[in-house]
């Protein structure tokens, strides 16, 4: 049994996308659900793929935590309404909502299709909108709640993913607007912006080869710390924002990115590529 710090003791959390793409490592939703459970929350594990959420539930149960699986397509309003109802029925209320569902899509404005644009917005933004639509009234009624949106540094820096960047940018803007609208109802709304972390989803879309190897190296090397990040790094930040320790923080987006946003790429380039100084 893991010893619990109890930062969210007695709270009820919904985590959307609480499963993880199959493969080695851990996704951000699965890790966040595990950390919240370890810290004392009862967690509703929401995923389109119940077998993925079931893996998360088993992991939490093994550590002595409490969680239940709820199968839903969070792009659908009826599913979101049912999801919130299920949390209330199973655990009595909703204190914490982590909007974690998302999927990147590559492409510029020129080569992104309308279908890809709409799908990317549905997965990354509509899911959070609909989950909040039904969770906020429950929180507002009791005058307390904490929402954490999982955005991306793609919302803040260009990387050739125009639809994804715009959708995550929308999520950051929604975070601010919701913090404004619901602060006096006791509802805090924040976001985390992960950098280039290693998750099973990321690994599953890269074909083995020199490009994948380069990207794996850069995921660690591009940041100030020079070390790779993973789903746990995002989970620890999300759990902090969800907890009472962040009771005076709302409307903010916390980058979790090894300082990538503080790097001048030109200054990192020679060091990363082993370019010698004259005389070396």
Ligand X SMILES: NC(=O)c1ccc[n+]([C@@H]2O[C@H](COP(=O)([O-])OP(=O)(O)OC[C@H]3O[C@@H](n4cnc5c(N)ncnc54)[C@H](O)[C@@H]3O)[C@@H](O)[C@H]2O)c1
Looking at the annotation, which residues are catalytic?
A: 164
Bridge partners (DSSP) of residue 13 are 43, 96
Q: Could you give the string, one character per residue 102-141, with x where binding to ligand X holds by CB under 6 A and - elsewhere?
A: x-x------------------x---x--------------
- Contact flags string 19-38 toward ligand X, x per CB under 6 A: xxx-----xxx---------
- Asked if 100 interacts with ligand X (CB under 6 A), we say yes
250 part of the interface to ligand X, by CB under 6 A: no
Task: Tell me which of 135, 147, 148, 150 binds ligand X, using CB under 6 A.
Answer: 150
Write the CA distances from 80 to 31, 199, 264, integer angstroms: 21, 26, 42
Asked if 168 and 103 touch (Cβ cutoff 8 Å), the reply is no
Which run of H or of E encompasses 146? strand 145-150
The CB-of-2 to ligand X minimum distance in angstroms stands at 21
Q: In the complex with ligand X, which residue's Cβ is closer, 103 or 272?
A: 103
Nearer to ligand X, 29 or 65 (CB): 29
List Cα–Cα distances, 24 to 102, 197, 201, in angstroms.
19, 13, 9
Residues 189-228 that bind ligand X (CB under 6 A): 194, 196-197, 199-202
Q: How far is the CB of 49 from ligand X (least distance, A)?
A: 4
| Dihedral Cα 24, 193, 246, 250, nearest 10 deg | -150
The site string for ligand X over 59-88 (x = CB under 6 A, - otherwise) reads: -------------xxxx-------------
* Euclidean distance between CA atoms 179 and 202, whole angstroms: 30
* Paired tokens of 149: 């949106």
- Identify which of residues 152 and 243 has a Cβ nearer to ligand X in the complex: 152
Residue 152 is a binding residue for ligand X (CB under 6 A): yes
| Other Cβ atoms closer than 10 A to 217 | 12
Which secondary-structure segment (H or E) carries 13?
strand 12-16
Instruction: For residue 210, count other CB atoms closer than 10 A to its CB.
Output: 7
Binding site for ligand X (CB under 6 A): 17, 19-21, 27-29, 47-49, 52, 72-75, 100-102, 104, 123, 127, 150, 152, 194, 196-197, 199-202, 231
């Amino acid at each position: 049994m893991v010893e619990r710090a109890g930062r969210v003791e007695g709270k009820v959390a919904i985590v959307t996308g609480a499963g993880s793409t199959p493969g080695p490592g851990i996704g951000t939703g699965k890790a966040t659900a595990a950390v919240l459970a370890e810290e004392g929350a009862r967690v509703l594990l929401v995923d389109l793929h119940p077998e993925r959420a079931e893996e998360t539930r088993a992991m939490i149960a093994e550590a002595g935590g409490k969680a239940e699986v709820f199968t839903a397509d969070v792009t659908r309003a009826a599913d979101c309404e049912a999801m919130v109802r299920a949390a209330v029925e199973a655990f009595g209320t909703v204190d914490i909502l982590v909007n974690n569902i998302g999927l990147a899509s590559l492409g510029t404005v020129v080569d992104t299709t309308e279908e890809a644009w709409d799908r990317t917005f549905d997965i990354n933004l509509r899911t959070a909108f609909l989950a909040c639509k039904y969770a906020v009234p429950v929180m507002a009624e009791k005058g307390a709640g904490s929402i954490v949106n999982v955005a991306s540094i793609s919302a803040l820096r260009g990387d050739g993913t125009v639809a994804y960047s715009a959708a995550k940018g929308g999520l950051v803007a929604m975070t601010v607007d919701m913090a404004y609208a619901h602060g006096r109802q006791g509802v805090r709304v924040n976001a985390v912006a992960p950098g280039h972390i290693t998750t099973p989803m990321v690994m599953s879309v890269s074909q083995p080869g020199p490009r994948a190897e380069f990207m794996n190296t850069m995921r660690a090397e591009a940041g100030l710390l020079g070390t790779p990040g993973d789903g746990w790094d995002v989970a620890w930040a999300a759990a902090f924002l969800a907890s009472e320790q962040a009771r005076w923080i709302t409307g903010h987006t916390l980058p979790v990115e090894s300082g990538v946003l503080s790097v001048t790429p030109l200054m990192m380039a020679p060091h990363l590529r082993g370019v010698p100084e004259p005389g070396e």
